Amino acid sequence: DTAVSQTPKYLVTQMGNDKSIKCEQNLGHDTMYWYKQDSKKFLKIMFSYNNKELIINETVPNRFSPKSPDKAHLNLHINSLELGDSAVYFCASSRPERGETQYFGPGTRLLVL
């Protein structure tokens, strides 16, 4: 299947822990993104990479560090997790057609206890 995939789908962890979320796309897109959707369902951009280069960093705490080993992968590492980090994290990818239409992964539901 051609798609954007994320692992894990669910993540439950304790405050202070470090965790990673992985994202892969096989759509041949050049640009990948991380979004955070909070409990009020508001979807907000965190990071964007184009061909492994960071192009957007939306004032995200530096506990969040994205890494793009190649243009098909964009991972997100979170240090010292806090309660407020609980949310759904979506990965997305796009290419320059129809104004950079973005295709979203299934999401990772993170719960920090």
Per CB under 8 A, residues contacting another protein are: 31, 33, 40-45, 48, 50, 55-56, 58, 90, 98-107
Return the number of the residue (16 or 96) whose C-beta is nearest another protein: 96
Taking the complex as a whole, the smallest distance from the CB of residue 43 to another protein amounts, in Å, to: 4
Least distance CB 80 / another protein (angstroms): 26
* CB-based contact 42:62 (threshold 8 Å): no
In the complex, what is the shortest distance from the CB of residue 104 to another protein, in angstroms, rounded to a whole number? 4
Spatial strand order of the sheet with 4-7 comes to: 4-7, 19-25, 73-78, 64-70
Pairing of strands 108-112, 10-13: parallel
